[in-house]
Copies of this chain bind each other. A is one copy, B any other.
Amino acid sequence: MTEKMIVNPYQVEGEVDYQRLVKEFGLQEITPEILEKIKQITKGLHPMLKRKIFFAHRDLNWVLDEYLKGNKFFLYTGCGPSGPIHLGHALVWYFTKYLQDTFDVELYFQFTDDEKFLYKDKPYEEIQKWVYENMLDVIAIGFDPKKTFFIVDTKHAGLLYPEAIKVAKKLTFSTVKSSFGFTDSNNVGSIFYTSMQAVPSFLPSVLKKKNIPCLIPHAIDQDNHFRITRDILPKLGFYKPASIQCSFLPPLTGAFGKMSSTGEAKGIFMTDSPKEIKDKINKYAFSGGQPTLEEHREKGGNTEIDIPFQYLKYLFEEDDEKLAEIEKDYSSGKMLTGEIKKYLIDKITAFLLAHQERRKDAHKKIDDFLLKV
């Protein structure tokens, strides 16, 4: 029986079956051969690749081959500014920073304030406030200001809209309707919007007047946009953008789904205090441990569904040996739920305190990051 599962940029429902998504979306799994190629180029392998957090792709092999020929790609990712940034967002961006640093490439970072305004029941001014707040978090990730270019859809509309209509002309309502589940009740801005999200994948090629490969790291729910983009770009004379997809950082409350900034206690925000982190993990983090101490010592915990272990695997324990040790100890019952939670709390706290420290001065750097037109 196929369980109900909806995964698109505007809805994630049901237990997410990533293998099924790979098939349904027509993605490729990242093979050992591709990992080997990356390893040779970059003299190492990021934990999120080794652990298959980033697990699927399109044309990644091609982008690497072009890179090896001296034809560098640029990176494109983004942020939908409608609320505070949580760890699920940061996961993609920290991986993107690794790609930027390792491959020494430019990054175009889009803030889709038009999208959030059009899809959310929030006033324009509130979305603008989130653009500002979210920029601070993106800057705090540590991207290279010389090679990173912020695009804010409304601020850069003079640059984006003339290109977006070239995409839009080749895209019917039928297509977006079936891709995003739209109806006749959708507002006309939301119907047009994916054309705006397509633009950064070829904007550098327009600006530099040459065709440049693009690699998009993104969470898998954004794939609908880029499937459309890939269909259309060759018709405009550009390469299809390559992409690399990650699974969702699970919500605190359970290992299957997507961390969200709405709903109670689903998210840990980048601005959370040590106390908030501690309280959230202790109160909400779903445990794979056993109900009683005795039972736990006897049977051990289940790391597959244990949120603290999963968070360590996704983002907070970069040391493979240490992670393996925790997995062993927790599975065997040697390590207790309280202990793994405490370990995670310390990791997240250190991680976020460092992030928050970098965030303090970030407002001074916004101008440096904004794409100049």
Which residues in window 160-190 of A have CB below 8 A to B?
160-162, 164-166, 168-174, 176-177, 182-190
Contact B188 A124 (CB under 8 A): no
- Report Cα–Cα, A56/B214, bound state, in Å: 54
- In the complex, how many angstroms separate the beta carbon of A209 from the nearest chain B beta carbon? 15
Does A103 count as interface, using CB distance less than 8 angstroms?
no
Which residues in window 191-222 of A have CB below 8 A to B?
191-192, 194-195
Contact A168 B189 (CB under 8 A): yes
- Report Cα–Cα, A156/B157, bound state, in Å: 9
Contact B172 A185 (CB under 8 A): yes
Contact B158 A187 (CB under 8 A): no
- Report Cα–Cα, A160/B4, bound state, in Å: 41
Instruction: Select which of B158, B166, B170, B189 is within 8 A of A158 by beta carbon.
Output: B158
Contact A157 B168 (CB under 8 A): no
Which residues in window 19-45 of A have CB below 8 A to B?
none
Chain B residues closer than 8 Å to A191, beta-carbon distance: 173, 188, 191-192
Instruction: Select which of B161, B171, B185 is within 8 A of A157 by beta carbon.
Output: B161
- Report Cα–Cα, A157/B154, bound state, in Å: 9
Contact B157 A172 (CB under 8 A): no
- Report Cα–Cα, A166/B161, bound state, in Å: 15
Does A316 count as interface, using CB distance less than 8 angstroms?
no
Contact B174 A187 (CB under 8 A): no
Chain B residues closer than 8 Å to A189, beta-carbon distance: 164-165, 168-169, 171, 192, 195
- Report Cα–Cα, A153/B160, bound state, in Å: 12
- Report Cα–Cα, A177/B183, bound state, in Å: 12
Does A114 count as interface, using CB distance less than 8 angstroms?
yes
Contact A174 B185 (CB under 8 A): yes
Contact B154 A168 (CB under 8 A): no
Which residues in window 112-130 of A have CB below 8 A to B?
114, 117-118, 124
Instruction: Select which of B118, B158, B166 is within 8 A of A168 by beta carbon.
Output: B118
- Report Cα–Cα, A296/B168, bound state, in Å: 56
A173 with B188, Cβ < 8 A, contacts A118-B168, A124-B166, A168-B118 known:
yes
Residues of A within 8 A of B (CB): 114, 117-118, 124, 153-162, 164-166, 168-174, 176-177, 182-192, 194-195
Given contacts A160-B161, A169-B189, A173-B173, 20 further A-B contacts (CB under 8 A): A114-B161, A117-B165, A117-B169, A157-B158, A157-B160, A157-B162, A169-B187, A170-B187, A171-B187, A171-B189, A172-B184, A173-B184, A173-B185, A173-B187, A173-B188, A174-B184, A177-B184, A188-B194, A189-B195, A191-B191
Could you write out 26 A-B pairs with CB less than 8 Å apart? A114-B162, A114-B165, A117-B169, A118-B165, A153-B161, A157-B157, A157-B162, A158-B158, A158-B159, A160-B161, A164-B189, A165-B189, A168-B187, A168-B188, A168-B192, A171-B187, A171-B189, A172-B184, A172-B186, A172-B187, A173-B173, A173-B185, A174-B184, A176-B188, A188-B195, A189-B195
